[in-house]
Amino acid sequence: NAATGEYVDMLEAGIVDPLKVARVALLNATSVSSLLLTTEATISDIKEEPSAVPNMPQMPDMGGMGGMM
């Protein structure tokens, strides 16, 4: 018993939550909460509006070029 400095049976004394268990649970909860906070702050691209200018016309095939083997 950390409060009195005595060695006792923890279940018999009513201490069912040792300090190490509480500390590990708190560390795990902190880890999960920081992961959730980080996930909420992700960066993403803004979709661009399609432009009104038409795209370039398709280029002709290379098969029609003269002088090639």
The pTM of the full predicted model, rounded to 2 decimals, is: 0.35
pLDDT in tens, 44-55: 678 888 777 667
Q: What is the pLDDT of residue 39?
A: 77
Q: What is the pLDDT of residue 68?
A: 59
* Domain extent listing, the chain: 17-42
Contact residues for 32 (Cβ-Cβ < 8 A; gap 6+): none
Cβ-contact 10, 16 below 8 angstroms: yes
* Residue corresponding to tokens 């006792």: 8
CA angle 1, 17, 12 (to 5 degrees): 55
Both tokens of 54, joined, read 């038409």
pLDDT in tens, 19-67: 788 889 999 999 988 887 887 666 667 888 877 766 767 766 666 666 6
